[in-house]
């Protein structure tokens, strides 16, 4: 079951069974439909407020990979090996393997991972693969970020807008592939506590079915490390006022505040 509103959720054509779809991805670029002409997944052309593009419908599988269309990317029935990408991005600056989505069984959540030194922006966070070259940079970016399945996840790569919807929980898909394990992340680039960028201030997301600790406290996921932490919500109209009062009571002068 998906959690999107009817206005947000992409319409699935009648000839495609919604039960067989795990991902819906829209790529906004005038060359996106042609670039994905040989993809093995079902697709339709789109034209809306974000522009002209292509919408791809992908079934259950452990990873969803994105990258540049090359001559070797095209499906050749006589070839010994077939392309390893699921969705092609029509831009010359895109890496052959730009980024991917993977399920993480430990958290039950989806994660976006950079697979290139070319920066990818996911839900505002700048991601980049950590390599022997990038580690020499003065500033390193995280390699991955966890995703909120209840919202549209927006990716920007070389000026292209890519929207992704996840119709199934990561734990559901992971159960279908029990031997799949995501690659370990580099801890030092995932730690963003001291970063001042705006994207680094938004650190927490709530799982689809969060564990409730108390009447207003729930388990949340740190979206860069996947760590489980507890957050108290103040959903009422005067929530900020009540939160400030409680902090004074407990003599707290610095806490994480961003979700």
> What pLDDT, on the 0 to 100 scale, is given for residue 95?
93
pTM for this prediction: 0.83
pLDDT at 77: 47
101 and 52 Cβ atoms separated by less than 8 Å: no
pLDDT of residue 231: 78
Query: Which letter, b or e, does each residue of 144-164 get, where b requires 16 or more Cβ atoms within 10 Å of its Cβ?
Result: bbbbbbeebbebebbebebbb
Domains of the chain: 18-190 (2.60.200.20), 196-259 (no CATH)
Q: CA–CA distance from 202 to each of 34, 36, 48 (Å)?
A: 36, 34, 29
pLDDT value at position 88? 95
| Token digits of residue 28 | 């906004």
115-128 confidence digits (pLDDT tens) = 999 999 999 999 99
Residues in the chain where the model's pLDDT stays below 70: 1-9, 71-83, 208-213, 215, 233-259
Q: What is the pLDDT of residue 50?
A: 87
């Amino acid at each position: 079951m998906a959690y999107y509103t009817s206005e947000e959720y992409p319409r699935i054509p009648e000839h495609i069974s919604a039960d067989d779809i795990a991902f819906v991805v829209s790529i906004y670029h005038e060359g996106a439909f042609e670039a994905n002409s040989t993809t093995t997944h079902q697709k339709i052309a789109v034209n809306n407020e974000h522009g002209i593009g292509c919408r791809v419908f992908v079934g259950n599988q452990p990873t969803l990979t994105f990258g540049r269309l090359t001559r070797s990317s095209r499906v050749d029935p006589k070839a010994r090996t077939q392309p390893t990408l699921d969705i092609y991005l029509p831009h010359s600056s895109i890496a052959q393997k730009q980024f991917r989505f993977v399920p993480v069984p430990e958290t039950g959540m989806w994660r976006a991972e950079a697979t290139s030194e070319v920066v990818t922006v996911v839900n505002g966070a700048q991601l980049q693969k950590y390599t022997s070259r990038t580690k020499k940079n003065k500033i390193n970016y995280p390699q991955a970020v966890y995703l909120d399945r209840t919202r549209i996840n927006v990716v920007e790569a070389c000026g292209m807008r890519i929207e992704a919807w996840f119709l199934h929980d990561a734990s559901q898909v992971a159960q279908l592939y029990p031997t799949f394990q995501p690659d370990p992340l580099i801890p030092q680039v995932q730690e963003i506590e001291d970063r001042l960028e705006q994207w680094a201030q938004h650190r927490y997301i709530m799982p689809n079915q969060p564990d409730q600790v108390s009447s207003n406290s729930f388990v949340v996921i740190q979206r860069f490390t996947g760590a489980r932490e507890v957050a108290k919500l103040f959903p009422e109209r005067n929530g900020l006022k009540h939160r400030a009062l409680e902090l004074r009571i407990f003599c707290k002068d610095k806490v994480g505040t961003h979700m």
